[in-house]
Amino acid sequence: MPKVLVSDKLSKTAVQIFKDNNIDVDYLPDLGKDKDKLFEVIGQYDGLAIRSATKVTDKILGAAKNLKVIGRAGIGVDNVDIPAATKAGIIVMNTPFGNSITTAEHAISLMLSLARQIPEADASTKASKWEKNRFMGVEVTNKTLGLIGAGNIGSIVADRAQGLKMKVVAFDPFLTPERAQAIGVEKVELDELLKRADFITLHTPLIDATRNIINAEAIAKMKDGVRIINCARGGLVDEAALYEALKSGKVAGAAFDVFVEEPAQNNPLFELANFIATPHLGASTTEAQENVALQVAEQISAYLNTGEITNALNFPSITAEEAPRLTPWVKLAEALGSFAGQLTETSIKGIRIEYEGNVAALNTKPMTAAAVNGVLKPQVAEVNMVSAPQIAKDRGINVEIITRDQQGAYEGYIRLTVITERQERGIAGTIFANGKSRIIQVKGINMDAELTPSMLYVTNEDKPGHIGRLGTLLGNLGINIANFNLGRAEVGGDAIALLSIDGEVTAEQLKEIAGLPGVRQAKAVAYN
């Protein structure tokens, strides 16, 4: 009988579901906080059900000799070393929508608490002070709410704020104009949001592009007396810069549920009367905890009992019979999507996937899910193979599938085209008989390139001297070329160089490459 450990405080509903599915379960809700104990016992378990307190590190995974699946009852999986889990063949699942409403409601609660200084007024009144004149609030009606991140939670916050008669402006580079219209927000650039918002609320993942998105420079651009809410992740706001701004009054108030260091115990922000703190309570309602516990227990049980995979962050959903033929094509589809997604810098209107020849006869669903997942991954927090098609639909991204019999030289190939406001960018690939994947076309230009972990994509005018200049510059930058593939539309027309390189290219180095004569675009593409 498979054995599961619940190492964080989950609703007991999960325990019952495991039992109903003939799974042996240990419910030890405090164990996750004791990393030595967890290390000691983890080897016994096939499944692990967690929230955010259990840190599933590389070291823990090293001791998890029987572990097959980790289920996160919630959204963020920052506490799980997913690359290490993937390497160990452990499926990592989450419940991407189960606590979104609850977290959005927490953000709204914090906004209203800030507007009326509820926590301070409560403390003062209970201390028998009756300071009626001290607590002058502000209305939210007709005020502007600046939403940074308009995904699942952000769009629910927008809906609730509109109910409070607020005007909502949103900054989210991946929000399409159609989706912005559907959720009733005005899509703006970050500077515009900072300038116009009376309240700012954050709902993005913590990634390189969002770390310290609110820093001293951003705060300086805000209205005097702005109020800031963070229910997403610690690290989106520079806490030291916020401290200064709260002290000076530039920021009238801030309310945080999440902190750079958690548990937050000695945070300097706690000294300030105009700062409200909650201990990462965003997902803590009876309803959300029932939802996520039930979902995670069902997902883990299904995987351990039948091999069914739902909401996995690191593996496609494929049945045991389909696996051998589909797996290389699924990987190729995700790689093509990831390649195109990494080259896409504006909002996506559509994704067209063409399956030609032998691949068109296979079950294209997991390939399509993998391809869409690959495209969205650079833009969306916790997208996975299962949620990717739904997320694309919610965002108004039209996914068009075309299947046809073999027409050209290849027995089968997949062509994926990303359609944005500005352009269509297509990339095609195939699987050779030896199981190796190949890129065979980029933007209509034929080529024959291996898909490798670190690639450099350079587009240029087809003019003499370019290859020499590029090679020399890369040599000077100390970048070793493993493979150099070229293609062009016509003599003197658009040309593409696709290089496999050892190691990574820095942003500075990319700038230098983009500065070479005739180069139109230079991008690094990573795939593993």
Ligand X SMILES: NC(=O)c1ccc[n+]([C@@H]2O[C@H](COP(=O)([O-])OP(=O)(O)OC[C@H]3O[C@@H](n4cnc5c(N)ncnc54)[C@H](O)[C@@H]3O)[C@@H](O)[C@H]2O)c1
Say how many residues touch ligand X, by CB under 6 A.
32
52 is an interface residue for ligand 3PG by CB under 6 A: yes
Residue 108: closest CA among 149, 148, 64, 159:
159
Which of 72, 106, 233, 466 is labelled catalytic?
233
Tell me the CA end-to-end span of the chain in Å, nearest whole number. 34
Residue pair 399/351 in contact by the 8 Å Cβ criterion = yes
Residue pair 437/374 in contact by the 8 Å Cβ criterion = no
Which of 72, 203, 227, 280 is labelled catalytic?
280
Residue pair 340/418 in contact by the 8 Å Cβ criterion = yes
Distance of alpha carbon 336 from the chain centroid = 18
Report how far residue 462's alpha carbon sits from residue 339's, in angstroms, rounded to the nearest whole number.
23
Q: Which of 68, 179, 280, 331 binds ligand 3PG (CB under 6 A)?
A: 280
Residue 291: closest CA among 25, 4, 10, 47:
10
Of 31-39, 229-237, 345-353, 455-463, the window that binds ligand X (rule: CB under 6 A) is 229-237
Q: What does 209 bind: ligand 3PG, ligand X, none (CB cut-off 5 to 8 Å by kind)?
A: ligand X
Cα–Cα–Cα angle for 162, 167, 173, rounded to 5 degrees: 100
Annotated active-site residue 196? The verdict is: no
Of 36-44, 122-130, 282-290, 410-418, the window that binds ligand 3PG (rule: CB under 6 A) is 282-290
Paired sense of beta strands 494-501 and 144-148, if any: unpaired
Q: Segment 136-175, which members bind ligand X (CB under 6 A)? A: 148-154, 171-174
Which whole-number Å values give the CA distances from 454 to 66, 187, 194, 200, 215, in the listed order?
32, 34, 36, 37, 31
Report how far residue 74's alpha carbon sits from residue 80's, in angstroms, rounded to the nearest whole number.
12
Kindly tell me the burial class for residue 507, based on how many C-beta atoms sit within 10 Å of its own C-beta (0-12, 13-18, 19 or more).
exposed
Annotated active-site residue 262? The verdict is: yes
Cis peptide before 316, with omega less than 30 degrees from 0?
A: no
Residue 27: closest CA among 43, 40, 11:
11
Nearest to ligand X of 150, 470 (CB atom): 150
Nearest to ligand 3PG of 99, 460 (CB atom): 99
292 is an interface residue for ligand X by CB under 6 A: no
203 is an interface residue for ligand 3PG by CB under 6 A: no
User: Measured from the CB of residue 52, what is the shortest distance to ligand X in angstroms?
Assistant: 8
282 is an interface residue for ligand 3PG by CB under 6 A: yes
| Tokens, residue 486 | 């070229």
229 is an interface residue for ligand 3PG by CB under 6 A: no
Nearest to ligand X of 149, 341 (CB atom): 149
Say how many residues touch ligand 3PG, by CB under 6 A.
10
Nearest to ligand 3PG of 153, 318 (CB atom): 153
| Tokens, residue 527 | 């795939």
Report how far residue 488's alpha carbon sits from residue 522's, in angstroms, rounded to the nearest whole number.
16
Nearest to ligand X of 259, 410 (CB atom): 259
Q: What does 174 bind: ligand X, ligand 3PG, none (CB cut-off 5 to 8 Å by kind)?
A: ligand X
Helix (H, G, I), strand (E, B) or coil at 494: strand
Backbone region of residue 408 per phi and psi (left: phi > 0; alpha: psi in -120 to 50; beta: other values)? beta
Cα–Cα–Cα angle for 488, 492, 497, rounded to 5 degrees: 35
Residue 272: closest CA among 250, 292, 291:
250
Q: In 363-432, at which residue ranges do the beta strands (DSSP E only) sit?
A: 398-404, 412-420, 424-431
209 is an interface residue for ligand X by CB under 6 A: yes
283 is an interface residue for ligand 3PG by CB under 6 A: yes
Residue 453: closest CA among 427, 482, 431:
482
Q: What does 329 bind: ligand X, ligand 3PG, none (CB cut-off 5 to 8 Å by kind)?
A: none
75 is an interface residue for ligand 3PG by CB under 6 A: yes
92 is an interface residue for ligand 3PG by CB under 6 A: no
Helix (H, G, I), strand (E, B) or coil at 360: helix
Nearest to ligand 3PG of 52, 387 (CB atom): 52
105 is an interface residue for ligand X by CB under 6 A: no
Q: What does 150 bind: ligand X, ligand 3PG, none (CB cut-off 5 to 8 Å by kind)?
A: ligand X
| Per-residue contact flags (x/-) with ligand X for residues 230 to 269, judged by CB under 6 A | -xxx-----------------------xx-----------
Q: Which of 253, 282, 374, 389 binds ligand X (CB under 6 A)?
A: 282
Q: What does 51 bind: ligand X, ligand 3PG, none (CB cut-off 5 to 8 Å by kind)?
A: ligand 3PG
User: Measured from the CB of residue 119, what is the shortest distance to ligand X in angstroms?
Assistant: 17
106 is an interface residue for ligand 3PG by CB under 6 A: no
User: Measured from the CB of residue 153, what is the shortest distance to ligand 3PG in angstroms?
Assistant: 10
- Read out DSSP for 278-336? -SS-TT-SHHHHHHHHHHHHHHHHHHHHH----SBSSS----TTTHHHHHHHHHHHHHH
Annotated active-site residue 211? The verdict is: no
| Per-residue contact flags (x/-) with ligand X for residues 43 to 82, judged by CB under 6 A | --------------------------------xx------
Q: Which of 203, 223, 377, 415 binds ligand X (CB under 6 A)?
A: 203
102 is an interface residue for ligand 3PG by CB under 6 A: no
User: Measured from the CB of residue 99, what is the shortest distance to ligand 3PG in angstroms?
Assistant: 5
51 is an interface residue for ligand 3PG by CB under 6 A: yes
Residues contributing to the site for ligand X (CB under 6 A): 75-76, 99-100, 103, 148-154, 171-174, 203-205, 209-210, 231-233, 257-258, 280, 282-283, 379-381
Residues that bind ligand 3PG (CB under 6 A): 51-52, 74-76, 99, 280, 282-284
The catalytic site residues sit at: 233, 262, 280
